[in-house]
Structure 1
Amino acid sequence: MIRVLVIDDEALIRTGFTHILNTADDIEVVAAVPGGQAIATVRELHPDVVLLDIRMPDVDGLTVLTDLRRMPDPPVVAILTTFDADEYVATALRTGAAGFLLKDTDPEQLPYLVRALAEGGTVLSSRVTRTVVDGYLDKGEREPAVRLTDRLTERERAVLVLMAEGLANADIGERMHLSAGTIKGHVSCVLSKLEVSSRVQAALIAERAGLLGPSQDGDTR
């Protein structure tokens, strides 16, 4: 059972996401709360996945994300957004968000996307604007994406592409005929060589380096 916490300032959003996700046999929304109750609720209930609104009136979503990432065993955190503030999304990437869900995501896709997050995949909609991707990569903080991916071995590049497609370690191992433990080691090397802390950050670099084909809206990476 995948335990999900929804954090949003809008009661309608909390109710809607709760209703949709609870229709899945393997997903349970353990709570749906406004931002001010986020940290205490995570500490009490220990959810597997947190769906976090990026902009809330009672607390800054980025502050909540930072606090969650500092926990000893943090949950997977995906951002709920309408992408009306690109600078917030770019900062969330750097802070370690595992993916992004648009608030108007197709209800039928929502359980699938949550499962992908829980299994170690990433969710990155193609509706993330080019401004977000460019803003994340073009800050003068890292080498260009192509030079970063050139650091990888051929096998690590193959792992990166499958990571960027949203596959969990076990699925990557099945594709490459390797054990999940071996893939876990490769993933760690990829993140280290790309100088990033999350799979979604690696996915953006892979996209910028031209390793990925065109994506569809709401896909997993």
Structure 2
Amino acid sequence: MSERIRVAIADDHVLFCAGIEMIIRSQPDLEFAGTAHDGDDVVTLAAEVHPDVILMDIRMPKTDGITATRRVLVDSPDSRVIVLTTHQRQEAVAHAIDAGAHGFLMKDARPELLLAAIRTVHEGNSVYAPSTTLALIRDLAPAVRVEPDQQAIAALTAREREVYLLAARGLSNAEIAESAYIGETTVKSHISSILAKLDLASRLQVVAHAYNHHLVQ
């Protein structure tokens, strides 16, 4: 059996956390890695156990989820954060993307969607839920129509630029592999290189980067 995905939850509602824990423990490929009830505690938890995926509430005592996400990813850069939200505001989306969040999920999502999101993010993809996230990224990008800033991706190889543009459209690794006629492992390698070269923390930041530099519409 392959190594299980270690999942932690950060939320100040104890019953909500208990429900998530039960769902995670019910899955043979997942392992529950711990609970934190405020932003400071999740930073400590992440530093101690380095979960693969952290479900992060935005509103928490002491330190909010956006700030906690940024701090977690400094100390545990291999962890992936899914931001939990009860409603989507443009400011929250922008701040979460800037902090390095790998996806968004509504707190009232069905259990099967939550489980799919955990596995999807662990595989290196991003989760755009609610479905308006990409539209909001477009809205948050500079409104002035200018020529594409190709210099913004000058550090990338030709193949990396191709993968970058496909990822910026929200395609999954499997979809990029099919479109570019390469293997998914190669896609993952290119994505890692793209993030490193452009100093980005997540695929959501790739999307925002592309819109901010007018490389996609």
Which structure has more relative contact order (CA 8 Å, sep 6+)? It is: 1
- Structure 1 gap ranges (5+): 213-221
Q: How many pairs were matched up? A: 207
Structure 2 distance, partners of 1:89, 1:200, is 10
1:108 partner SS: helix
Whether 2:119 is the aligned partner of 1:115: answer: yes
Contact 1:20 1:107 in 2 (8 A): yes
1:195/1:11 CA distance change after superposition, 3 Å: same
Instruction: Using the aligned pairs only, state the percent identity.
Output: 33
User: Quick one: which amino acid aligns to residue 10 of structure 1?
Assistant: H
Change (3 A) 1:133 1:105: farther
Aligned to 1:69: 73
Determine the structure 2 residue equivalent to 1:215: none
TM-score by length of 2: 0.76
Q: Could you tell me the TM-score, scaled by structure 1's length? A: 0.75
- Rate the CA distance shift 1:85–1:175 in 2: closer, same or farther, 3 A: closer
For residues 146 and 19 of structure 2, the distance between their equivalents in structure 1, rounded to whole angstroms, comes to 41
Q: Which moved more, 1:173-182 or 1:52-61?
A: 173-182
Residue 105 in structure 1 maps to residue 98 in structure 2: no
8 Å Cα contact 1:5-1:47 kept in structure 2: yes
The correspondence of residues 131-146 of structure 1 with structure 2, limited to 5 A, is 131-135=136-140, 137-138=141-142, 146=148
One of 12, 24, 32 as aligned partner of 1:9: 12
Q: Is the 8 A contact 1:21 1:110 kept in 2?
A: no
Whole-angstrom distance in 2 between the partners of 1:133 and 1:9: 32
User: Does structure 2 retain, via aligned residues, the 8 Å contact 1:87–1:132?
Assistant: no
Correspondent of 1:25 among 25, 28, 31: 28
Q: Is residue 166 of structure 2 the alignment partner of residue 166 of structure 1?
A: no
Find the residue that maps to 2:32 and give its secondary structure: strand
Partners of 2:147 and 2:63 in 1: how far apart? Answer: 34
Change (3 A) 1:205 1:31: same
In 2: Cα distance, 1:198 partner to 1:110 partner? 19
Question: For structure 2, which runs of at least 5 residues remain unmatched after alignment?
Answer: none
> Once the two structures are superposed, what CA deviation does each residue of 1:113-157 show, in whole Å capped at 9, x if it has no partner?
10111111111121337445422x2399xx969445886776445
Residue of structure 1 in register with 2:91 after alignment: 87
